[in-house]
A and B are shown apart, each in its own frame.
Chain A
């Protein structure tokens, strides 16, 4: 009997750039990758995206530079000995201020990015510390609410991509019932070494969301094929992955050897798909897969008019 828990995750879309996930508290300058309303350190609702904060920093810098020019101009006017000097200084100062202002307007976008780069570069150690605190927070809620813990880890993993977080996420996902309508990930969870829970998760994903089985996953499965086959449901996992791989000609060609080892176990619709793929591209280098498919057709589907 399955002990997996049916769960509902909040919708999640990974931002295009990882720094879009990072927010800073305007009061205490602490960072967070979590979607909380209030800052976990000072408790104030003063969290803003780092990019917005960098734009305001750049804006302040631009204004300060202009202000320096205007103040120097005013000082020049103040120390003017006659009207001619005062007018000359005033006009000169205004022209210079105008020139700087014009340049600032032209380079503003770039300046904003420079400010962001500087902000992140200067505070990288506090960002690391704060993200680690975020991770610890996710781990502390694990016992009471594993779904919330998973959601928090999912958010942190946009920025922290080490195996440690992936392992924790895979372990949590192992306890959940996976459904097609869930926001699921796979490539982001792949580890450097073999992990049975991850292999099981890959097998489930191959059945629930085969479109998530891509190049990196197929490479992982191919690398650890022996270890996966040693697992209880190893053959089922490999068959599910092979079934998912035949959805694309590229994968069928690249992993023809691996698919060939499980072609006998493929469900009828997947076998049909592979068979049609080969029939449509007979001159591609199938690496013996075409012969195997032919053999299985003769053995299993000889009397089937569909195949």
Chain B
């Protein structure tokens, strides 16, 4: 019985991980996004100078 419970937990854990990966993949990040966010955070939203 314990084996099946553990297998169930493993299944749930794996499904949650796959759903998390899939949801992130649906709204992928780009290097441009990260660059923009970093510059905005460092320069108080002023990234006009390129």
Q: A residues engaging B (CB < 8 A)? A: 17-19, 65, 68-69, 72-73, 75-77, 79-81, 85-86, 88-89, 92-93, 96-97, 99-100, 103-104, 106-107, 110-111, 113-114, 116-117, 120-121, 124, 127-128, 131, 159-162, 166, 187-188, 190
Contact = CB atoms under 8 A, between A and B. Distances in A.
B24 A92 contact: no
A77 B3 CA distance: 7
B37 to A, nearest CB: 7
Given A76-B3, A96-B14, A110-B24, A187 B9 contact: no
Given A93-B7, A161-B49, A120 B25 contact: no
B10 A93 contact: yes
B28 to A, nearest CB: 5
Contacts of B10: 69, 72-73, 76, 92-93, 96
Nearest to A128: B42
Nearest to A19: B38
B31 to A, nearest CB: 5
Given A72-B10, A188-B49, A89 B38 contact: no
A92 B11 contact: yes
Interface of B: 1-4, 6-7, 9-11, 13-14, 17-18, 21-22, 24-25, 28-35, 37-39, 41-43, 46-50
A23 to B, nearest CB: 14
The 9 A-B pairs at the shortest CB distance, nearest first, are namely: A76-B6, A79-B2, A96-B14, A72-B10, A113-B29, A17-B35, A85-B3, A161-B49, A107-B21
B34 to A, nearest CB: 5
Given A104-B21, A120-B34, A120-B38, 4 more contacts: A65-B17, A76-B7, A110-B29, A160-B43
Contacts of B18: 99-100, 103
B21 A111 contact: yes
What secondary structure prevails in chain B residues at the interface with A? helix
B24 A111 contact: yes
Nearest to B44: A162
Contacts of A85: 3-4
A92 B7 contact: yes
Q: For A92, A93, A190, which residue has the most chain B Cβ atoms within 10 angstroms?
A: A92
B3 A69 contact: no
B13 A117 contact: no
Residue among B13, B25, B34 facing the most chain A CB atoms (10 A cut-off): B34
A24 to B, nearest CB: 13
Contacts of B37: 117, 120-121
Nearest to A66: B17
A89 B2 CA distance: 11
Contacts of B2: 76, 79
Nearest to B43: A161
A89 B6 contact: yes
28 contacts: A19-B35, A68-B13, A69-B14, A72-B10, A75-B6, A76-B2, A76-B3, A79-B2, A79-B3, A85-B4, A96-B11, A96-B14, A99-B18, A103-B18, A110-B24, A111-B24, A113-B28, A113-B29, A117-B29, A117-B33, A117-B34, A120-B34, A120-B41, A159-B39, A160-B43, A161-B39, A161-B43, A190-B49
